[in-house]
Amino acid sequence: MANETTLVILGASGDLTSRLLLPALGQLLTMEPHRRVRLRGAGMDEWDDARWRDTVREAFASAGFEKAFAAIAETTYQRADITDADDLARLIAGAGDNVALYFAVPPAVAAAACEALADVTLPEGTVLALEKPFGIDEASARRLNATLARLVPEEQVFRIDHFLGRSTTLNMLGVRFANRVFAPVWSAEHIESVVVRFDETLGLEGRAGYYDRAGALIDMIQSHLLQVMAVLAMEPPSTLHERDFRDATAAVLRATHVWQDDPVTASRRARYTAGKVGERQLPSYVDEPGVDASRDTETLAEVTCEVRNDRWRGVPFTLRSGKALAGKDGEVVVTFRPVNHVPDGLTGAAPGAVLRFSLGPDRMDLELNVNGGDDPFELERALLEADLGEGALKAYGEVLSGILDADATLAVRGDAAEQSWRIVDPVLAAWRAGDVPLDEYPAGSLGPEHWQKLP
């Protein structure tokens, strides 16, 4: 795509736009000054161009990118009902050939807008960008995909998953595919278990309207963590270009199932009660404004999966994420099997090596058995640490750069979105049937005390 794109943000006055999208755009335009963007905002609010311009300028400034504002060729706002075909047509009118429609609105509104778009003539190459969740189960994900397929080719649909834009997720590619010390041992023969964990200290943060219907399983595991897992487990692709990369990650998801097909033993869920996270006192989740306690929404979820192929059969992949926990802890932990035999004469335990990729900040470490400290025949653990530096673009900037270039490599493909639901649907069903207890943990703790600790 040429360097001038009309980015139409639907839901321009919303929180996502000012908190994430605009700062990311500011960063992108600062780092890649050749880009030219026309920025059209649209929403139900009675804003005028000046108000929109102020919003953009302030969002850029708050992220330290005030100068980027000058790179925007047009900043206009239109009041619009984005589920109305005439309003949508007006928004696109005169936008030129390179148009990206970014739906920064709740999924149901985005789906309705896509239905309406069927009656609008879209410029060739129009890109559609949608936020998760993509559906509420496999069947609805399929319906949404069918609607989208009537509008534009799949390569022009950007299902956003900013974890794919994280430099930390991407770091796994180099380590895996560019090192002979890892490539040959990346399989069930040498790896015992994998954990993908994303523990947060944040509580609900006023997001009950969305989160109370999603919960940790849908908010994090169904989307982000399965994608991270797919990058870790994919077969080496020939290139990292869109088709090869997305074929390889989708193949992992197609092979993934809940451990032993038993969602009851393979999953756990819990919800936080009142407690202190650092200096902040959090109320019980059920006392947060807007929460309906009868929904039994979990704020901590764990699911163990298996990737049923020759490379991974038998290796548990445990995905876990929760809110209001003691510390922020996002990482992928790869635990290798111990060696078959330690020579007699070396003393001490020799557990398998552990490789950890942090999911931000950008670092990795490798825990190994070494000897030669005080006693040259006694084994001890040593840690090799690497600080990988800041990714140049923040995750949303990476995502936006793909959208402006119409390069969907880091977007979730439709079949992958369906597969992610296919994997978690049985867990959701078991939870809704009450087959898995909803445990509790005090905010600021490590989770329910009786849960077995993960590596």
User: Cα–Cα distance between 161 and 216 in angstroms, integer?
Assistant: 15
Q: What is the DSSP letter of 299?
A: S
Binding residue count for ligand BG6, defined by CB under 6 A: 5
Q: For residue 94, is it left (φ>0), alpha (ψ between -120 and 50) or beta? A: left
Q: How far apart are CA 356 and CA 9, in angstroms?
A: 37
Q: Give start and end residues of each alpha helix (H) in 178-312.
A: 208-216, 226-233, 242-255
Does 162 carry a binding-site annotation?
Answer: yes
Nearest distance from residue 249's CB to ligand BG6, in Å? 18
Which residues are bridge partners to 318 per DSSP?
A: 195, 304
CB 13 within 8 A of CB 45: yes
Is 15 or 54 the residue whose CB approaches ligand BG6 more closely?
15
Catalytic residue among 34, 190, 224, 257: 224
What DSSP string describes 137-150? SHHHHHHHHHHHHT
Query: Which residue type is seen at 207?
Result: R
Least distance from ligand BG6 to the Cβ atom of residue 395, Å:
6
Q: Is 319 exposed, middle or buried (0-12, 13-18, 19+ CB in 10 A)?
A: buried
Question: Does 219 help bind ligand BG6 (rule: CB under 6 A)?
Answer: yes
Binding mask 381-410 for ligand BG6 (x = CB under 6 A): --------------x---------------
Q: From the CB of residue 205, how many other CB atoms can be counted at a distance below 10 Å?
A: 10
Q: Is there binding between residue 87 and ligand BG6 (CB under 6 A)? A: no
- Going by the DSSP 8-state scheme, the letter that residue 236 receives in this structure is P
| Closest residue to ligand BG6 using C-beta atoms | 219
Please indicate whether residue 190 is annotated as part of the active site: no
Q: Is 323 annotated as a binding residue?
A: yes
- Cα 41 → chain centroid: 25
Dihedral pair phi/psi, residue 307, rounded to 5°: -100, 110
What minimum distance in Å lies between the beta carbon of 200 and ligand BG6?
6
Binding mask 306-345 for ligand BG6 (x = CB under 6 A): ----------------------------------------
Burial 141-162 (b: 16+ CB within 10 A, else e): bbebbeebeebbeebbbbbbbb
Q: Which is nearer to ligand BG6, 10 or 395 (CB)?
A: 395
302 binds ligand BG6 (CB under 6 A): no
Closest approach, Cβ 211 to ligand BG6, in A, equals 7
Site residues for ligand BG6, window 192-211 (CB under 6 A)?
A: 200, 202
Give the contact letters, 111-150, x = binds to ligand BG6 (CB under 6 A), - = no: ----------------------------------------
Question: Residue 276, annotated ligand binder?
Answer: no
Q: What φ, ψ does residue 113 adopt, rounded to 5°?
A: -65, -40
Q: Is 81 flagged in the annotation as binding?
A: yes
Least distance between ligand BG6 and beta carbon 132 (Å):
7
Q: By three-state DSSP, how is residue 56 classified?
A: helix
The minimum distance between CB 147 and ligand BG6, in angstroms, equals 23
Instruction: Please enumerate, by residue number, every residue annotated as part of a binding site for NADP(+).
Output: 81-82, 132
Instruction: Please enumerate, by residue number, every residue annotated as part of a binding site for substrate.
Output: 162, 200, 219, 323, 328
Active site residues: 224
Positions in the binding site for ligand BG6 (CB under 6 A)? 162, 200, 202, 219, 395
